[in-house]
Amino acid sequence: MLTTLQVKSSQRSEMIDVTGQVQTVVSKSGIKDGICYLYVPHTTGAITINEGADPNVVVDILTTLDRLIPWRNNYRHMEGNAAAHIKTSLMGSSERIFIDNGKLVLGTWQRIFFCEFDGPRTRKLHVKVASL
């Protein structure tokens, strides 16, 4: 079963918690034991799993990425968003999460984040749930 979620960003760089939306897809699938595949079909948007309890973790990640990969540099990409492409390559476009008893298997503090690096935009997040 493939489901496509819409994710709306409101800033140029943002990490949006999509854990609840993904869990809803898993629950609706009826699959109790399996794997949830997440894929972002964009070159300036990514997906990651990290701490969601302290919002400062997201701030620290975005701040560090901006410091390491500044928006303006001597990039050659003509669209002017090379930094977003580089950040996306570093973060990655896919994740896999086990499903046990109908629930995503995440650590106590872990959440799933859609990473926007060239917003604001409306993006797609593909979710594929498969049984084992």
- Report pLDDT for 7: 98
CATH number (domain holding residue 9): 2.60.120.460
Express as a percent the part of the chain with pLDDT over 70.
100
In Å, what is the CA distance from 27 to each residue of 64, 95, 103, 111?
35, 18, 7, 17
The position carrying tokens 């939306």 is 21
Q: What's the pLDDT tens digit per position in 21-74?
A: 999 999 999 999 999 999 999 999 999 999 999 999 999 999 999 999 999 999
Domain count, the chain: 1
Q: How far apart are CA 86 and CA 37, in angstroms?
A: 23
| Beta-strand pair 110-116/45-51 | antiparallel
- Round the CA-based radius of gyration of the chain to a whole number and report it: 15
Q: What's the pLDDT tens digit per position in 88-97?
A: 999 999 999 9
Domain of residue 82, residue span: 2-131
